[in-house]
Amino acid sequence: MKTSAPFPLPNIAKPLLQWFRARARSLPWRDCPLPYYVWVSEIMLQQTRVAAVMPYFSRFVAALPDVASLAAADDDALMKLWEGLGYYSRARNLKKAAKLVMEKYGGAIPGDFDELLSLPGIGRYTAGAIASIAYGERVPAVDGNVLRVVARLTASRDDILRDTTKRAVEAALAAAMPKEAGQFNQAMMELGALVCLPRAAHCEECPLAALCRAHAEGLEAELPVKTAKKARRVEPRTVLLIERDGKFAIAKRPKRGLLAELWEFPNLPGEKSRAEILALCKSAGLFAKSAHRMKAARHIFTHIEWQLSGWHIRLADTPEAVGEKRARCGSSPLPPLTWATHEELSDIYSIPAAFHAYLPTTP
Ligand code: SF4
């Protein structure tokens, strides 16, 4: 196996910290770096932009202001707070970790990197971020932004997706770490988020330009090196918005797999025709009065792309009992259905963003 070359870093701490103090964005979890706030924000920021996280963060900490309230949160209420952020296992792991923090640490989030690492949903980056930002521990926090900045600073051609490269970058940052560890880590991330961007390095604004090898050698656009990702699998699906007396059918997804245990509108693999949909409703004991095609949509997960078509089906009578009875007997092509009003869809049930294109409009 190829090993990464070390990444000796130039003396970046002073200009980086000066720049950060002058330019850092004001963010709620940055302005008030309580361990709980840093933890929740870092979990939300995984795979999600700062602007998208801001309203979620404020709502989340208003509803669940500390570890104890998170550990005791109702699952549906927790999912509702997370609705639209995606990657719902993050919210489940937050609650699992909160319970462990209550049991093992009396509700105080640990400040030690290794103890943090032992909690569900906390990897090396998040452990480093919490330990350094909330507790001042001198440990690095290496995310994609930081990997890119370091690869460019050192003109490294090592693949930044390899674990060996990440560990080498951690070691280099640990060696360059000043006593203001939390600020240093945040400054590296901020530089990657605002200046040293993936597609355009704004070297003219960069406090490290005079120290940067990629800039000196004109390699900004070529670095970092990343292995090509596998292409996403494309899956057509048909979503059914089934309406009866102003209520809409929803179902709970299985306990395991994609969007586990979240609510969804009934949906099927493939793109179905009106005739197929009507036949399916009939065999589920649902008697359709009308079926109108809805707009197409798509949703992208990490490894899968759903190409969605939709049908709005209005039912003729009160089929609930028939449909559910058949589902219980195992003869229905649809899972057991729950019927929700507009208000319940908005206030109680968490419908993942993948289905938002099919949410009924408010009457
Ligand atoms: S000088 Fe340019 S390439 Fe180097 S770290 Fe700064 S923005 Fe990135």
In a domain, 282, yes or no: yes
Q: Residues 78, 174: one domain?
A: yes
Ligand 1 atom nearest to 207, measured from its CA: 6
Q: Residues 142, 285: one domain?
A: no
CA distance 35 to 110: 9
> Which residues are the active-site residues?
42
User: pLDDT by residue (tens digit) across 47-61?
Assistant: 899 999 999 999 999
**Structural domain ending residue among the three candidates 189, 222, 255:** 222
C-beta 153 within 6 A of ligand 1? yes
What angle do the packed helices 13-23 and 181-194 form, to 10 degrees? Answer: 70
Which pLDDT score is estimated for 2?
40
Which pLDDT score is estimated for 255?
87
Identify the CA nearest to 150 among candidates 169, 129, 125.
169
Pocket test for ligand 1, best of 20, 145, 149 (most atoms within 8 A of CB): 149
Q: Provide the sign of the torsion angle of the four alpha carbons 100, 104, 106, 109, taken in this order.
A: negative
Any alpha helices (H) in the chain, and if so which ranges?
A: 13-23, 28-31, 35-45, 50-63, 67-71, 75-82, 89-105, 113-117, 124-129, 135, 144-153, 163-176, 181-194, 213-217, 274-283, 320-329, 342-347
Point out the least confidently predicted range of 15-29, 31-45, 179-193, 256-270.
256-270
Q: What residues does 249 pair with on adjacent strands? A: 339
C-beta 215 within 6 A of ligand 1? yes
C-beta 70 within 6 A of ligand 1? no
Which pLDDT score is estimated for 304?
93
Residue 156: which residues within 8 A CB-CB, separation 6 or more? Answer: 4, 5, 7, 150, 165, 223, 224, 225
C-beta 150 within 6 A of ligand 1? no
Across the chain, what does the average pLDDT equal?
Answer: 91
C-beta 208 within 6 A of ligand 1? yes
Identify the CA nearest to 190 among candidates 136, 139, 133, 228.
133
For 100-120, what is the mean pLDDT?
97
Q: Which domain holds residue 317?
A: 233-358
Q: Residues 283, 157: one domain?
A: no
CA distance 304 to 283: 30
C-beta 212 within 6 A of ligand 1? yes
Nearest CA to ligand 1 atom 8: 196
Identify the CA nearest to 333 among candidates 279, 263, 271.
279
In a domain, 228, yes or no: no
In a domain, 292, yes or no: yes
Instruction: Please tell me the distance between residue 175's alpha carbon and the centre of ligand 1 in angstroms.
Output: 20
User: pLDDT by residue (tens digit) across 223-269?
Assistant: 999 987 778 999 999 999 999 999 999 999 998 888 988 999 999 99
User: pLDDT by residue (tens digit) across 266-276?
Assistant: 999 999 999 99
Instruction: Please tell me the distance between residue 143's alpha carbon and the centre of ligand 1 in angstroms.
Output: 16
Which pLDDT score is estimated for 6?
55
Q: What CATH number should be reported for the domain holding residue 254?
A: 3.90.79.10
User: pLDDT by residue (tens digit) across 301-358?
Assistant: 988 999 999 999 999 865 454 444 444 445 678 889 999 999 999 889 989 999 999 9
Q: Residues 261, 208: one domain?
A: no
Instruction: Please tell me the distance between residue 191's alpha carbon and the centre of ligand 1 in angstroms.
Output: 9
**Structural domain ending residue among the three candidates 222, 245, 276:** 222
